[in-house]
Amino acid sequence: MMYRMLAAQLLFLALLPPAAFAQRQRCGTSEPGAGVAAAPSDCGYFTNQPQAEYEPSCYYEIQVVFHVIQRTTGEGFLSASTIQDQIDVLNEDFQALPGSPGAPGTDGRVRFQLATLDPQGQPTTGITYHMNDSWYLDSGNYWSGVAWDTHRYLNIYTNAVPCCYGYVPGFPSEGLAGQAKDRVVLWWEAVGRNGTSGWPLNMGRTATHEVGHYLGLYHTFCGGCGSAGACYSTGDLICDTNGEANSTSGCPSSKSSCGNPDPIHNYMDYSDDPCLWEFTPEQVNRMRCTLFNWRPLLAASNQVGVGTNYCISVVNSSGNAASIKADGLPSVSANLMTLSATGAAHNTVGLYYYGPSQTQTPFGDGFRCVGGLINRLPPPLVSDGAGASARPLDFSLPPFDAGPGMLSPGSTWNFQYWFRDPTGPGGSGFNLSDALSITFCP
């Protein structure tokens, strides 16, 4: 009986016009509670300590899948263009892109992209659609059969969640990361930068706010004023956000509490979207720390190649131009990266190498694209029958760990694949792929 009454109430809420949601909460994410382990303290549940190794020296790439949940009548539908619009807003805000509303903020060098491959390795748009009246009201464990690998994908669900504009069910430092319920939930009318009748001031910042939680940030008003002398263990655990007694509503010209101006322009406050435009440097440091410690596979997804290709590769005896890529994480300490080449001559010997400079110098039947002191990566490998080869890298071993080939945080290196081509057009027996430039993180 109680369940039927609750279901009826939820259905009644779903049928109300948008104006009836005027008192909807800005965010339904619970404040941190007790009884959760704090380690690692750099970005723990109860503590925070910014470290140089988490500064934004390179980009973290995050693959996103949107699960659009609709009523059986079709209400709740979101087009691919609206969802891409939301991805664009996330990139503007997390990278403080010049010319965008988020430009005044801090460039966190975190990039979001709709997934191009699903968990089975099949091509995808990064969007799934579901029709279920219960799920539409955020009821039932819908994620248990819908979620994509939450270690490797940011799963965002859109529905008519009755409580709020959005929420996350918990924080990664609670041990949530990787569980099926690990997700971001958004009220479907708050998706994208274009306002709707239900949320006219929306500019897509609900997603920015909730993804901030997903990456370990608390509300700026969490715990009230906190302690200025212990700002890494009280309040929102961030010292460069002023203490704030209560959340902000609307878009005031100014607001003060705790003896200082409130951070009304911070994405983790409750101000209206036009009033929000920043994460602080220490918030960025904490989010990148969270990615490194609590969500390492999310940023190391092998669906997004690491680095930037440059130079050219000529057609070889396989009928293709060879190309090099790197998968994993551009982090020296994470030590999770694999080089691979495709399009090389079939069943032939090849070698990966790297150096500090970029060039384009004729060599054999192709172009040497790496200059300066060259570091070869033995042993030589034999490509397969399709002209592909792969080499996992271990940054703890020579030549990466010391000397002129040492990888250090913030350094940029250029990689290329050199292979034999006995039947090549020039008769020299040598050919090369294009090249790849990678800037490494701590």
| 192-213 pLDDT, tens digit each | 988 666 666 789 999 999 999 9
- Within a domain: 149: yes
pTM score of the predicted model: 0.77
- My answer on whether 76 and 168 are in the same domain is yes
The domain boundary residue, chosen from 251, 273, 299? 299
- Within a domain: 139: yes
Question: What is the rounded CA–CA span in Å between residue 17 and residue 267?
Answer: 28
- My answer on whether 125 and 12 are in the same domain is yes
Distances (CA, A) of 175 to 27, 30, 171, 225: 21, 15, 8, 27
Q: For residue 419, what is the domain's CATH number?
A: 2.60.40
- My answer on whether 278 and 148 are in the same domain is yes
Question: What is the rounded CA–CA span in Å between residue 243 and residue 142?
Answer: 37
Q: Is 210 a catalytic residue?
A: yes
Torsion angle defined by CA atoms of residues 272, 32, 54 and 116, in that order, rounded to the nearest 10 degrees: -70
Number of domains in the chain: 2
43-57, 171-185, 419-433: least confidently modelled range: 419-433
Question: Does residue 424 surpass a pLDDT of 80?
Answer: no
Reported as a pLDDT band with limits 50, 70 and 90, residue 303 is: very low
The domain boundary residue, chosen from 257, 282, 299? 299
Catalytic residue among 92, 210, 278, 282: 210
Cβ neighbours of residue 302 under 8 Å, at least 6 residues apart?
327, 328, 338
The domain boundary residue, chosen from 299, 317, 351? 299
- Within a domain: 1: no
Q: Which domain holds residue 285?
A: 7-299
Interhelix angle 80-95/205-214, rounded to 10 degrees, is 60
Helices (H), 108-249: 133-136, 143-146, 205-214
Instruction: Return the pLDDT at 418.
Output: 96
Average pLDDT along the chain: 88
Reported as a pLDDT band with limits 50, 70 and 90, residue 350 is: very high
- My answer on whether 324 and 259 are in the same domain is no
- My answer on whether 282 and 393 are in the same domain is no
Instruction: Return the pLDDT at 14.
Output: 36
- My answer on whether 205 and 179 are in the same domain is yes
- My answer on whether 375 and 282 are in the same domain is no
* CA nearest neighbour of 48 among 224, 333, 283, 254: 283
* CA nearest neighbour of 269 among 240, 301, 236: 236
- Within a domain: 268: yes
- Within a domain: 108: yes
Average pLDDT on 384-403 reads: 94
User: Residue 279: how many CB atoms within 10 A of its CB?
Assistant: 29
| 88-146 pLDDT, tens digit each | 999 999 999 999 999 999 999 999 999 988 999 899 999 999 999 999 999 999 999 99
Average pLDDT on 337-349 reads: 94
Instruction: Return the pLDDT at 157.
Output: 98
Q: For residue 243, what is the domain's CATH number?
A: 3.40.390.10
User: Residue 27: how many CB atoms within 10 A of its CB?
Assistant: 21
- My answer on whether 289 and 316 are in the same domain is no
- My answer on whether 313 and 435 are in the same domain is yes
